[in-house]
Structures are given as C-alpha cells and as structure tokens.
Amino acid sequence: MPHTSAAPDRQRRAVRPHVPMRPLWLCRVCAAAWPCPPARLLLLGMEYRRDPVALSIYMAGCLFDATADLIKLRPNPAPSPADLFDRFLAWTARRRA
C-alpha cells in the first residue's frame, strides 16, 4: 500500500489566498468584504506574523486605494470613514492573547 501521509500536508499548504477584487474590494474567493476573516487570519498569521507594523502600513495603503475606488463606485452616500477604518485598520492593532 502506498504511503499517503503527504497528501494532507499538501492540502494544508495549498491555501487559496483571499485577495481583493478591485474596484469592489470583495474577496475573490468568498465574495465577502475584503479583508474577509480568512484574509485577516492569513495576513496576521502567515504573511505579517513577525512584522505587525508592516501589516498596518500595507493595510493603510489598501484603505487609501479602497476609499478612492469605493467613492467612485458609490459617491452618494459615500462609504463611512469610520466603517472603512474599522474594516481595513482597526483589527491590525488588536493584541493577540
């Protein structure tokens, strides 16, 4: 019988990245508002695990771009600045227990 223990390892590593679909700023994988919960987990736990300042800088750039895109798509009423801040930046400052 062939050894199959590598198959689950390969499946765990093959995580589809939850990336934004611009200009809508929806997740390309799950269609939730980006950054969706899986994207946040991947950003916090894998990509920026050792550099939370870089994560905040990256997300601030995303906030800037998303604000411009979303205002063009829906100028009246424009997206709430507080909602956009919460969506893109507030979660990056939360401390892990």
| Residue ranges per structural domain of the chain | 37-97
Nearest to 59 by CA among 23, 51, 13: 51
35 exposure class (CB count in 10 Å sphere: 0-12, 13-18, 19+): buried
pTM of the model: 0.80
| pLDDT tens figures, 6-59 | 555 555 556 688 999 999 999 999 999 999 999 999 999 989 999 999 999 999
C-alpha to C-alpha distance for 11 and 91, rounded to whole angstroms: 28
The 10 Å CB-count burial string (b at 16+, else e) for 15-30 is: eeebebeeeebebbbe
